[in-house]
Amino acid sequence: MYGNIYVSELGVSRHEFNKYHFCRGNSNKRKSRLGVILKGYGAYMYLGKKLKVCEGDVVFVPENVYCYSEWYGEPEIEVVYLSCFMHYENFKYEPQKLELDGDTKNDVLQIAELLSREQPPMFEAYSRFYKLLETIVFKLKQSNIAFDKTLQTAIEYITDNFDKSFLMVELAKKCCVSESTLYHLFQRELGQTPVKFLNSIKINIAIEHLENSNYSISTISRLVGFNSENHFRKIFTELTGTTPLKYRKGKE
């Protein structure tokens, strides 16, 4: 049914945030990910669909589907991913939650712990991961989802140029469609306008600056591509429910 399956570049990543985080998502070169939500809750958005997850859930995100996510914590957010490139035949999926028992979920976390060591025992990690695949692969639901190349082109351009000034009509021309077509494509597939998607990315990067730098609010506003500091504050508050300054003070 699945053909031959093997994996490469097995790794681990741990994502920890406070209160809110927007993840710009993966390109078609991103690895497949198997994640455990340890704290917080959120949603993965892709191709007009939304997959809601909460603490304790296990999620599979394949490498060939563009998927971005929003996270909320009270106040902590923590997600651990095993990631790899998956090489297979007849193996087509979309993001989904997996119903795993406690032992299998612990296997995911134990492999993550092995890979987190200063000198990870890779043979052991791969061996345990393949054994884990034997359990989860038959729980995955295959999909016949379509991939819209125009949407992919638009998303990749926005995520690569979020800090530059460009008009949506210019983006539409790069995608070889009308501005109206681009707008309806985003609404249909992602449930939001291109401008809102762009602003979400800008605010996510602004949050990273607020958490990890001493840049002024004015400087951060400029770094993420806002021409007006007042406009930056307005969009930041709309998306996070608080002002940039209050967000920074909340992290101190």
55 in Cβ contact with 40 (< 8 Å) = yes
Q: Which tens digits make up the pLDDT trace of 191-225?
A: 789 998 899 889 888 988 888 889 999 999 999 99
Four-way CATH pick for 5-136: 3.30.70.260, 3.40.1190.10, 2.60.120.280, 3.40.50.880:
2.60.120.280
pTM, rounded to two decimals: 0.68
The answer to which of 23-32, 131-140, 159-168 has the lowest mean pLDDT is: 23-32
Domain ranges of the chain: 5-136, 149-251
Residue 16 to residue 112: CA distance in whole angstroms: 15
Give just the sign of the alpha carbon dihedral 81, 87, 91, 92.
positive
User: Do the domains 149-251 and 5-136 match in fold?
Assistant: no
Q: How confident is the model at residue 115 (pLDDT cuts 50, 70, 90)?
A: very high
Higher pLDDT, 50 or 120: 120
- Is the predicted pLDDT of residue 27 greater than 60, yes or no? no
Residues whose CB is less than 8 angstroms from the CB of residue 36 and which lie 6 or more positions away in sequence, other chains included: 57, 58, 79, 80, 105, 108, 109, 112
Q: Where are the beta strands (DSSP E) in 99-179?
A: none
Query: Hey, what CATH topology would domain 149-251 get?
Result: Arc Repressor Mutant, subunit A (1.10.10)
pLDDT in the model for residue 251? 61
Per the structure block, which two tokens stand in for 73? 């914590």
Q: How confident is the model at residue 20 (pLDDT cuts 50, 70, 90)?
A: confident
Q: Which tens digits make up the pLDDT trace of 97-107?
A: 999 999 999 99
